[in-house]
Amino acid sequence: MRQALRRATWEAPGVTAETAERRAVLIAGPTASGKSALALAVAERCGGVVINADSMQVYRELRILTARPSPEDEARAPHRLYGHVGSGDGYTVARYLDDLEGVLKETAGRPAVIVGGTGLYFNAMTQGLSDVPPIDERVRAFWRERARTTSPAALHRELAVVDPVLYGRLHPNDTQRVLRALEVADSTGRPLSEWQEKRSRPPISGGRIARVVMAPARDWLHDRIDERFRAMAAGGGLDEARAFSALGLDPALPAMKAIGVPDMMAAARGEVAVEEAIEAAVTATRQYAKRQETWFRNQMADWPRLDPAAARHFVAVADDIAQRMK
């Protein structure tokens, strides 16, 4: 464990006068793995600011069903980029990076404790983002409709024609990224893989940076997912789903696809029993967690791992990282 702790912090390359004093803690992990608790513990110990890196927790109307920090937790340390976007808006990785850079400037001098389960956000903040022009809304609407009426395998085959490189990299079931690649190729006339060759300067590119991936045992995580979702449903999740459904938003919007939200909206409308909706949401959440774990295993292989069930190590990691940020 101590060896892992030593590897958790490194002096990042590309240090400039602007970034030399930057202190950042990056905490990734699957949903319900305890990463928010670790982030809060670190922030309290080092006077840091907790910054969201979860693509669903940005939406204002979904506090409960996306497991955003409670008002009590938010009172213990400053929190940023939670619930700051209306659910009727699209929210891209590029917009997230802009928001993150603004928060880093606003809170300069305090450690940034960045926590979430969206791997693309971590990639973008540490590796930069390709400078893709805005997508024509008519093109986006066309591909959204195509996705509704075409199988994932068929969409993936279309990608082979316009972007063979990403066709080879992306799984047919990774519909969101396949769709993004098709939109970019259609709107810009260039494959997304070409745009990705030239990246912007990442906001987390120098200074003292600690990183860790939460790696719970599968049974522990499955039990926690079940317990947490049932608690969310009993703690106002059904009412939140009812209010969210009443907004009448486009089903294609990202917020409408948040894990568990479609199931709970169906229950709120009386289309299915609440218990049936909870079971479906728990199953979907477990499947999502498995996809996250696969992504972290492939993309963050060199990040130290932490088992959140090991309470003694959990506290030791929080203490150690906080000390390094002071």
Give per-residue pLDDT as tens, 41-89.
999 999 999 999 999 999 999 999 999 999 999 999 999 999 999 999 9
* Pairing of β 79-80 and β 23-28: unpaired
Statement: residue 123 has pLDDT above 50: yes
Going by C-beta distance under 8 Å and a sequence separation of 6 or more, which residues neighbour residue 67? 31, 32, 36, 57, 228, 232
Average pLDDT rounded to a whole number, residues 287-307: 93
pLDDT at 320: 86
Average pLDDT rounded to a whole number, residues 244-248: 97
Greater confidence (1 vs 236) lies with: 236
Within 13 Å and on the Cβ side, how many CA atoms surround 277?
24
Q: How far apart are CA 51 and CA 108, in angstroms?
A: 13
Helix or strand holding residue 35 (H, E)? helix 35-46
Q: What does the mean pLDDT of the chain come to?
A: 90
Q: For the beta carbon of residue 145, count every other beta carbon within 10 angstroms.
A: 11
The dotted CATH code for 2-129+201-325 is: 3.40.50.300
- How confident is residue 326, by pLDDT bands cut at 50, 70 and 90? confident
Average pLDDT rounded to a whole number, residues 92-119: 95
DSSP collapsed to 3 states, 129-190: CECCCCCCHHHHHHHHHHHHHCCHHHHHHHHHHHCHHHHHHCCCCCHHHHHHHHHHHHHHCC
Statement: residue 1 has pLDDT above 50: no
Q: How far apart are CA 50 and CA 10, in angstroms?
A: 20
- Whole-model pTM? 0.80
Could you list the residues known to form a binding site, using ranges.
29-36
Statement: residue 13 has pLDDT above 50: no
Q: Which of 2-16, 202-216, 278-292, 296-310 has the highest mean pLDDT?
A: 278-292
pLDDT at 16: 43
Comparing CA positions, the residue from 88, 132, 128 lying closest to residue 249 is: 88
Please state which of the ranges 195-204, 209-218, 235-244 shows the lowest mean pLDDT.
195-204
Could you list the residues known to form a binding site for ATP, using ranges.
29-36
pLDDT at 21: 64
Q: How far apart are CA 276 and CA 233, in angstroms?
A: 12
The answer to whether residues 103 and 113 touch, using CB atoms and an 8 Å cutoff, is no
The answer to whether residues 245 and 269 touch, using CB atoms and an 8 Å cutoff, is yes
The answer to whether residues 70 and 95 touch, using CB atoms and an 8 Å cutoff, is no
- The domain spans of the chain are 2-129+201-325, 137-195
- How confident is residue 8, by pLDDT bands cut at 50, 70 and 90? low
CA distance to 7, 228, 272, 274, 284, per residue, from 279 (Å): 39, 12, 11, 9, 9
The answer to whether residues 56 and 82 touch, using CB atoms and an 8 Å cutoff, is no
Statement: residue 212 has pLDDT above 90: yes
Please state which of the ranges 30-44, 174-188, 309-323 shows the lowest mean pLDDT.
309-323
Statement: residue 251 has pLDDT above 60: yes
The runs of H, that is alpha helices, within the chain are: 2-7, 35-46, 71-76, 93-106, 119-127, 137-149, 152-162, 164-169, 175-188, 192-195, 218-232, 238-245, 261-268, 274-299, 311-325
pLDDT at 20: 46
Could you list the residues known to form a binding site for substrate, using ranges.
31-36
Q: How far apart are CA 203 and CA 319, in angstroms?
A: 25
Please state which of the ranges 43-52, 187-196, 211-220 shows the lowest mean pLDDT.
187-196
Handedness of CA 70, 71, 72, 76 (dihedral sign): positive
What CATH architecture applies to the domain 137-195?
Orthogonal Bundle (1.10)
